[in-house]
Amino acid sequence: MDEFEMNYGGWDSIHRERSKAIAKDLLKRTPMNLGMTALDYGAGTGILSALLSDKFSEITLMDIDPEMIETIKEIASKYNLKNFHPVLFDLGQSPYQTKTFDCIFTQMVLHHIPNTELLLNRFYELLNPGGHLAIADLYSEDGSFHGKGFTGHNGFDVKILKQELERIGFVDITAEQCFTMSRTQNGVVREYPIFLLIATKRNVSK
């Protein structure tokens, strides 16, 4: 990780500080150990997984974009991230049945998903009992983050999102602001807070 920290400034630098803040908060609020496996859904270039790479035995980096998967492979090779497992797959189209995970994390992905209920149910199915789901995304905003033509969600009301997760079966749901993104629009700086929500799949053995 030291070489990665020193040299990745030019790689995905726009999102680096956000990913570092999410990783820091996730490490503080979620138990992790090298016996655990993780799924990074909508992994993009894999920057969040790279920051957490020494905390898991294996991380499956899943994305629907073939170019992103190729980028992840290149970065994994460059930084010797041997526990990276890139997978081209869309959970919105079909369930993933190859393996299950102890932790699932995703950043700035959920607001792009039309059917969030379907995806959250798929996450629940993929988690081992007692496993954790971590979602980093936008609080509700006025639509200016993406602007006209965007067909996804304008952030989320965290209270409503928690209720949806509870209906699915998640427990111990907490959400805290972990970062603030700034964007300049028409000469005006706008700030958009980001939450990190963590939920647990009920441990059926208890």
The pLDDT tens digits for 150-189 are 999 999 999 999 999 999 999 999 999 999 998 888 888 8
Range of the domain at 118: 2-201
Is 81 strand, coil or helix?
coil
CATH of the domain at 166: 3.40.50.150
Q: Is residue 38 included in any domain, yes or no? A: yes
| Angle formed at CA 197 by CA 191 and CA 200, multiple of 5 degrees | 175
pLDDT > 90: what percent of the chain? 81
Residue 14 pLDDT level (bands cut at 50, 70, 90): low
Can you give the pLDDT at residue 130? 96
> Residue 181 carries which side chain, given as an amino acid letter?
M
> Within a domain: residue 206?
no
Question: Is residue 193 assigned to a domain?
Answer: yes
Tell me if 134 sits within 8 A of 196, measured CB to CB. Answer: yes
Q: Is residue 87 part of a domain?
A: yes
In a domain, 15, yes or no: yes
**Is residue 107 over pLDDT 70?**
yes
Average pLDDT, the chain: 91
Could you write out the DSSP letters of every residue in 26-46?
HHHHS---TT-EEEEET-TT-
Question: Which single residue is written with the structure tokens 């996730």?
Answer: 26
Per residue in 42-94, pLDDT (tens digit) is 999 999 999 999 999 999 999 999 999 999 999 999 889 999 999 999 999 99
Does 152 fall in a domain? yes
The whole-angstrom separation of Cα 26 and Cα 136 is 10
Q: Report the domain count for the chain.
A: 1
In a domain, 146, yes or no: yes
CA distance 147 to 129: 39
